[in-house]
Structure 1
Amino acid sequence: MPSGAVGASTATVTADEAWITALQAYNSVQLTAPALPSPLPSNQFGISVQNNAQDMSGLSIQQAGTFMGFSIEMSVANQVIGKSPAFLQVPFLNLMAIIAERAGSVHIRVGGNTQETATLVLSTPDGAIIEKDKTSTTNPTDTPALIFTPGLLYMLANVSSLVNTKWYLGIPFNDTTNLRLEIAEYGESILGSNVLGFQVGNEPDLYVAHGHRPANYSVWDYFGEFGVVVNAIAADAQIPTRNNLIAPSLQGTWTPEDVFNTGFVAAYTNALGILSVEHYPDDNCAAAYPDAGFGAPKDPQTEFPNFLTHASGQGIVSAYLNATSFAQSVGKPFMMFETNTASCGGFPGISDAFGSALWALDYGLQMAYTNFTGALLHVGGQDVSYNPFTPPPTNLSTFNQWTVGPVFYSAVVIAEALGTSGTARVVDLFANNASDYTPGYAIYENGALARMVLVNYMTDPSGANSYTATISVNSAPASVKVLGGALRSGEKQHHVAGQGLGGRFEVDGRWQGTEQINTINCDQGANTCAVQVPAPGAALVFFSDSALQEVEPSSTVTFATTALTKTVNTVTINASVLATSNGENGSMRGQLSSTSKGSSSAVSSHVVPGVTALAMMLAGVCVLSGMLRR
């Protein structure tokens, strides 16, 4: 399948369900792969690296395998994660386990635009953990206000008890004269060490455009309002942690320097845990919201080539190089707190095409190389095309499986490339005379060459523009292991090392097919190893068995369903045992929603001990070993 092709579905849409293809998450758009570049880059080239990190210049700071995580719009958390603490989505658990078993953990943010107006209540009228107040909308794209119960936080805690998951949450910032700190109070009590931090202000530089602040709102106003939150937390005994706030989370109208130059970091250094930005390299707002004043729609076919080049990731990070350097100087992590292919839902035919998998892999490693410390791929609702994973529409009667987007596969490869030690250092190799179409990265772990990622952006079914990179390394190993096409598109789905998760409405979160790990013999006399990369595709090269074994689990715990509802596979945990559920029963379903950037879409203080064992017993845990472990 060419890099521009949308992963095909093998499920049949009946006449009364034909409306589904109108949703961006399941669109049928297929673009033409961009023409081969002229002149063509070489398809035979050398790459020279050193065995020891101390002999290699330009290495990044140390990175963790959890680098690439996910950002789930708060308003769809009850569709994506689960309906209640006692009703978790099995495909979600399985997908998160794929990342966690390779990275050691998975980091997820629940927030976005909808966190800004969210209010915690002890119960909702219909018992749901999240409800939308569609009478309260201020954004031009009609993002509704939310109410949510502590059940949402208990649900996150129960996910963490099954899969090693850590969470970022957000404190509402729409009204700093009437702060609502309950999410921090309950969040720390319920999630404990599984909460990584609290975002304060989601894209404050867009507040004026979204009608959240007056026209003269400035960085100095944000500085002052942030201080109001800091002081309120300091005075709140129910929020014991005082150093885990995340800011300023700018979209790009202001620069990080605009905020930093106010003295923001120095003033609030004891409260700040992470410095952050949010960025999408493009937008599809005019097409998504034709009456919102965004101008003429963009042509996805014209935009497509912009994503299939190394220059894309380089261009995105270039605006933040000074900020990442500043963050290091003040001892703070610097995160890309929300990102994906294009805001306002992405581009059908780009965001859900294999090319976006290569783009996200390259972009993610480029962020790691330039000293970001993490990045989160955003997940919206049914009306976005860029989702890493999408549950089925809630009112479908015949389909009950999920759909996985291309960028999820990118996150898997990044987790394997960076490993679990927390010592990974990344370097852009500027391979093939710095060709924009054949980028490569080397990863050093514990001071030694561990892995390499090679990307081929070109599409050529003839194979003529598959390339061979001859890697020169002092004291070359006898052989290297290569994930056979670490990223490659197949006839019906995308693949990581020969395995896929299924096509549209076919995903339960377990790998399908047989993993391909190829052994490439090296020429130890010449100290070279030759690795071929398909067009299009990517290869992940391991320079030792230990580097492979570290990220390749010998077995995988997956969650089989005990409840097959009309629409969704779930883990069901007895609510009377947990005594923490504020959720509804399985027959109560939420509405379709879209929450792309700027758009709509009496409790115990502990999760009951033993929930993991109980859930595994009820869920019928399967252990897949050997070649089926992926």
Structure 2
Amino acid sequence: MLLAAFAPLYLAVVVVAQVTVYGQAPLWQTASAATPTASPNAYNNTILTPPPVPSPPPAANYNLPLLRAATSVSNLSIPHVGGSFFGFSIEMSVISQVLGKNSSLLGVPMLNLISNLQERSGSVVIRLGGNTQEFAALVDHIDGGHTFAKVDSGSTQTTKTPAVLYTLDMFYMASNISSMLNVKWFLGIPFNDTNWRLEIAEYGQQILGNNLLGLQAGNEPDFYATFGRRNGSYQPQDYFNEIGNLIQTIEGNTKIPNKYMLIGPSVATGPWTPEQVWATGYIDAYKANMYCFSVEHYPNNNCAANFNTGQPIIDPQSIFGDYLNHGGVQNLVNPYINSANLATAAGKPFIMFETNTASCGGFAGISDSYGASLWAIDYGFQMAFGNFTYALLHFGGQNAFYNPFTAPPTNQSTFNEWTLGAVYYSALVLAEAFGKTNTSQVVDLQANAASPYTPAYAIYEQGTLSKVALINYVSDTSGASNLLVSVSVDTGSMPASVQVKYLTSDSVSTKANIAWAGQYFGGKFQVDGRFKGTLNVSTVNCDQTANVCRIPVPSPGFALVFMNPADPMIAESQAQKTFATTARTRTVNTITVDPTVLATSNGHSADIRGSLGSTTHGSISSTSGMNSLLPGATVLLSAVLGAFVAMKGND
């Protein structure tokens, strides 16, 4: 009777050949008519006081002479090759809060937000892991149709890490996202002991195919002794030996055909430095087995406040100024310059595998402020200047202040939408700054007499000056700290005008009124992942006789100056591929996607995919393959059945 009731909808898919994915108002929410009570940290209302204007203040007007040819610039970074510089790191225990409940119930705002990054950069990388990957275990089934569950791991770690149980549907969830968007994935091999549980590698490669880029081998191993995962004498040489044992085990495993996609050492630069790991011979010994080399680092931590560690609690107001200072991001990146150069010499990417404003969830009033947007822009450019390939902004769930975006809490109405974090705008800005050419190189200009409050960068594409990035950290409502930057070019070929996009807000402490080129996503519980407002690109007339363009930058503010009038990023606004709701069934909305987008689902060609069975594990026999069903019908039917269960549950 149930199947008969949904037969018309199934037949509709047969006729129009579409795949339906449910999720705009996700089923991991619960219906409620009440006004939202924003108690989790992700919706915290703390507003800090902006730091005072520096004394003495930076010069409000300064000259910025530039060289047009990249070959004339010293200290230029290597080209950024790949997609969006900022990717995402999602703590394994909160995947269902970010991506969706399961492979058939994906978060539509998440898809739209990633689509906007893809539009600008070509692709996005996402890591599923973190501390909770270390105790993760694959299970056949979790009650209630869930893909994830948590149990006590017995960990003594600061963040009280749970053990994550997951089903094969986690891989299909990632695969379905990659079938719609150009998303590539990183997964992590559990490292709580050396009885290697390699199912995540086996099924990751089988189901994700070439959409799986790498497998992390150890998450912050320098803290293993501290957190009781290894004995107190555990040292870099011990970690080196374990990687060798892991490689040997993988080489003997026929279910892992690609033996060359490990990621490490991912030290946090706590008890160990990367150099201590390199001293073991790690790079030369294992580079053939590595996708990339990696580190993880945060500028501070809020563990005392969020996890009651007994250490002194940090007052966010007292450190707000630390995030509004170029010297701070330089100090974050400088310890990794040598490691990045070693990775480059070995022919491998170098990735900041997990970072954000502060570990243990970030700080109230800082991590979700416009000041954090400016800080992450500066930090991202500085990492690129230091030859990092990617940096992954971490998600910590409902109780984190720093999430790039967050779904509504489970106890709130299904009609509430999502909330955008300040650092998502930073990812968007860098995606536009680097573009899609795979030739972008960046240099820190040490602008305005190297003032820490007014950093600037030049971006070169295809060997020529392409863009200029200008930051003003000073928050001053009087207008006295607004900048006027006189940009000149050595060849004297200044255009008649340049286009400028601004990331704006009233103050470094504000949260809800951040806009990029006049467009915004909405306030708390108002984000569907699509831009609101009209694109507003400013035109600044230049003095060609004096060979200068005078660029205003508000206080506070960020300006991206396009030196090439034909740059396609000037007109970039809402992504062409959006995931809008097309139907509503009480608490469930749907989106439709052309099935041709799914032609390479699971990272395989159609002829290979036919032997894998359905993209939803268990819905058809693996021996029957997909040829017995019309493309997408299985995903549709599982989504419809899931919708039915949710509807009944909300009656």
Scaled by the length of structure 2, what TM-score is found?
0.84
Tell me the residue number matched to 1:54.
Answer: 71
One-letter code aligned to 1:580: T
Tell me the residue number matched to 1:3.
Answer: none
Residues 192 and 229 in structure 2, CA contact (< 8 A), matched pair in contact too: yes
CA distance in 2, matches of 1:168, 1:612: 28
CA distance in 2, matches of 1:522, 1:583: 64
CA distance in 2, matches of 1:491, 1:135: 36
Residues 29 and 348 in structure 1, CA contact (< 8 A), matched pair in contact too: yes
- The residue correspondences of 1:147-546 to structure 2 (distance < 5 A) are 147-176=165-194, 178-253=195-270, 254-290=272-308, 292-293=309-310, 295-397=311-413, 399-473=415-489, 474=491, 475-485=493-503, 492-546=512-566
Choose from 557, 570, 574 the match for 2:577. Answer: 557
Q: SS at 1:229's partner residue?
A: helix
Scaled by the length of structure 1, what TM-score is found?
0.87
Residues 404 and 423 in structure 2, CA contact (< 8 A), matched pair in contact too: yes
> 1:57/1:109 Cα in 2 relative to 1: closer, same or farther (>3 Å)?
same
Residues 249 and 278 in structure 1, CA contact (< 8 A), matched pair in contact too: yes
Using the TM superposition, give the Cα deviation of residue 480 of structure 1 relative to its aligned residue in structure 2, in angstroms: 1.1
> 1:607/1:204 Cα in 2 relative to 1: closer, same or farther (>3 Å)?
farther
Q: SS at 1:460's partner residue?
A: coil
Using the TM superposition, give the Cα deviation of residue 287 of structure 1 relative to its aligned residue in structure 2, in angstroms: 0.8
Q: SS at 2:410's partner residue?
A: coil
CA distance in 2, matches of 1:88, 1:583: 19
CA distance in 2, matches of 1:583, 1:564: 27
> 1:421/1:496 Cα in 2 relative to 1: closer, same or farther (>3 Å)?
same
CA distance in 2, matches of 1:566, 1:406: 31
Using the TM superposition, give the Cα deviation of residue 186 of structure 1 relative to its aligned residue in structure 2, in angstroms: 0.8
CA distance in 1, matches of 2:356, 2:376: 8
Residues 157 and 607 in structure 1, CA contact (< 8 A), matched pair in contact too: no
CA distance in 1, matches of 2:154, 2:34: 33
CA distance in 1, matches of 2:569, 2:156: 51
Q: SS at 1:116's partner residue?
A: helix
Could you tell which deviates more after superposition, 236-245 or 333-342? 236-245
CA distance in 2, matches of 1:604, 1:54: 58
CA distance in 2, matches of 1:441, 1:583: 52
Choose from 156, 162, 183 the match for 1:144. Answer: 162
Q: SS at 2:301's partner residue?
A: coil
Q: SS at 1:459's partner residue?
A: coil
> 1:605/1:243 Cα in 2 relative to 1: closer, same or farther (>3 Å)?
farther
Instruction: State the 4+ residue runs in structure 1 displaced beyond 6 angstroms.
Output: 14-18, 486-491, 565-568, 602-609, 612-615
Tell me the residue number matched to 1:106.
Answer: 124
CA distance in 1, matches of 2:335, 2:581: 46
Q: SS at 1:142's partner residue?
A: coil
Q: SS at 1:530's partner residue?
A: strand
Superimposed CA distance per residue, residues 469-521 of structure 1 (whole angstroms, 9 cap, x where no aligned partner): 11011211222111144677688421111111010000000101111111212
Q: What is the aligned residue count? A: 581
Using the TM superposition, give the Cα deviation of residue 237 of structure 1 relative to its aligned residue in structure 2, in angstroms: 1.6
Residues 155 and 227 in structure 2, CA contact (< 8 A), matched pair in contact too: no
Tell me the residue number matched to 2:145.
Answer: 127
Using the TM superposition, give the Cα deviation of residue 289 of structure 1 relative to its aligned residue in structure 2, in angstroms: 1.5
Residues 93 and 164 in structure 2, CA contact (< 8 A), matched pair in contact too: yes
Q: SS at 1:546's partner residue?
A: coil
Tell me the residue number matched to 1:581.
Answer: 616
Q: SS at 1:559's partner residue?
A: coil
- The residue correspondences of 1:31-50 to structure 2 (distance < 5 A) are 31-50=48-67
Residues 61 and 425 in structure 1, CA contact (< 8 A), matched pair in contact too: yes
Choose from 547, 564, 569 the match for 2:567. Answer: 547
Superimposed CA distance per residue, residues 225-272 of structure 1 (whole angstroms, 9 cap, x where no aligned partner): 111111111111221112211000011121000000001111112101
> 1:381/1:564 Cα in 2 relative to 1: closer, same or farther (>3 Å)?
farther
Which 5+ residue runs of structure 1 have no aligned equivalent? 1-13, 585-601, 620-630
Matched, 1:73 2:83: no
Residues 104 and 635 in structure 2, CA contact (< 8 A), matched pair in contact too: no
Could you tell which deviates more after superposition, 468-477 or 352-361? 468-477
Tell me the residue number matched to 2:113.
Answer: 95
CA distance in 2, matches of 1:209, 1:553: 47
One-letter code aligned to 2:146: A
Could you tell which deviates more after superposition, 256-265 or 49-58? 49-58
Superimposed CA distance per residue, residues 43-65 of structure 1 (whole angstroms, 9 cap, x where no aligned partner): 11110111111111111000145
